[in-house]
Amino acid sequence: MAELTTTLIHHPYQPPAGFGAPQPGVFKASTVFFPNVAAMRQFEWKDKSAYTYGLHGTPTTYTLEERLCTLEGGAQCLLVPSGLAAIATVCLALLRRGDEVLIPDNAYGPSKALAEGELAHWGITHRYFDPMDPADLAAKLSPATKLVWLEAAGSVTLEFPDLCAQVRLCRAAKVLCALDNTWGAGLAFQPFDLQPGQLPTLSVDISIHALTKYPSGGGDVLMGSVITTHERLHMQLKLCHMRLGLGVAANDAESVLRALPSLALRYRSHDETARTLAHWCQQRNEFAQVLHPALPQSPGHVHWRALCGDALGAAAGLFSVIFKPDVNQARVDAFCDALQLFKIGYSWGGPMSLVMPYQLETMRSSWPVYLQPGILVRFSTGLESAADLQADLQQALQHIA
């Protein structure tokens, strides 16, 4: 008879199989047991037919990966510790010294910092293109171009590019294109079927998603995904991901699994509130421009309509305003400080509404022709009542008078 310490570790009890409940279990592991040495030599994690090590997958992460593939219409998924790590993984897996990556000028800021910092150090060059002018992308594609990033809509300025035209240019140049699909979240449009009903299907090669935002839904998880439809491309990304030692914590994966069933409902609610407030802002005289792809005057509205359905198509809970040029930074800051329900903070997708003033001139190669001059403030709508949020905006606007 073994001693108690040993028995508590090697306990004989096995719970009955067949436990069913609304949420899948959380499997936490670095070590994974093999039934015997032959199995250890045979088990394969790359095709998810077995388990070999916590970093290579658990029932929890395999389940989340499969559900995210369904969400975005992809076939394979990798989980990484943040949205930015998803962008970095794609760049590291696909780019070598001497290669060039093209990035839209309105791209998520840290993606540009990655190119200007790490990629440049490794001899990988980058160029920024005008997201609203396919001719500019066409002109910048060269034999050195190995990857093109796309983003719809821009996450601060909310302009909606002609994504189909951009993908067609990449196809014609035989260059891989990766979409930052965080705004669309797999709900506003299908990244791997951009022209439903038309053949051949127009599709991006890779979709990355900051699960930190809507899929997490809580403002309390950092995670990203890299989704593909081509097995060979997936393997190239997966081996890089494995060699870099990237993985996610089981409890974080569980948080996202728990939030996924309400994703579409939450997205619709964020969307409705953002549209209500964007329309309201358009009636006010403090703003030179209101940016939201569903507003007919917003840059790229026609492309949003074409891709996301019609006027009733989906959009995320983001909109930005550009204050009239006579409203200076101090007054804009006072407006942001005066907001009570909108908290000052980065990111989006959680239950609380957020506000952030941006210094656009420091973020873009040049001031876009389609944007009015003035200070830009971005709002991310949470799940609060739209009427309460509107009242909050109204009281805070008194501070710019």
Ligand X SMILES: *Cc1c(COP(=O)(O)O)cnc(C)c1O
Find the shortest distance in angstroms from Cβ 212 to ligand X.
3
Q: Report which secondary-structure segment, H or E, holds 323.
A: strand 318-323
Pick 220 or 388: Cβ nearer ligand X: 220
CB of 223 to ligand X, least distance (A): 7
User: What's the farthest any 2 CA atoms get from each other in the chain?
Assistant: 84
Closest CA to 375 of 362, 393, 392, 390: 362
Residue 7 belongs to what H/E stretch?
Answer: helix 4-9
**CB closer to ligand X out of 222 and 356:** 222
- Residues 290 and 282: their CA atoms lie apart, in Å, by 6
Minimum CB distance to ligand X smaller for 355 or for 400: 355
Alpha helices by DSSP H, 260-340: 263-283, 301-308, 329-338
Closest distance to ligand X from the beta carbon of 375 (Å):
21
Residue (216 or 289) nearer to ligand X, CB: 216
Q: Shortest CA distance to 300 belongs to which of 190, 160, 97?
A: 160
Looking at beta carbons only, is 83 or 191 nearer to ligand X? 83
Q: Smallest distance from the beta carbon of 356 to ligand X, in angstroms?
A: 12
Output 92 or 327, the one with its CB closest to ligand X: 92
Q: Report in angstroms how near the CB of residue 197 gets to ligand X at its nearest.
A: 28
Compute φ and ψ for 306, nearest 5 degrees.
Answer: -65, -35
Residue of 292, 72, 268, 30 lying closest to 180 (CA atoms): 72
Helix residue spans in 43-115 (DSSP H) = 59-72, 83-94, 109-114
Contact footprint for ligand X (CB under 6 A): 82-84, 108, 155, 180, 182, 210, 212-213, 222, 224, 347
Question: Minimal distance in Å, beta carbon 84 to ligand X?
Answer: 4
CB 216 to ligand X: min, Å = 9
Tell me which residue has its CB nearest to ligand X: 83
Residue with smaller CB distance to ligand X, 249 or 338: 249
- What the block records as the tokens of 340 is 């009570």
CA distances from 127 to 86, 112, 265 (A): 20, 10, 38
CB of 183 to ligand X, least distance (A): 6
Residue 75: C-alpha distances to residues 9, 161, 217, 232, 269 (Å)? 39, 25, 24, 12, 28
Comparing CB distances to ligand X, the nearer of 248 and 278 is 248
**Amino acid in the structure at residue 300:** G
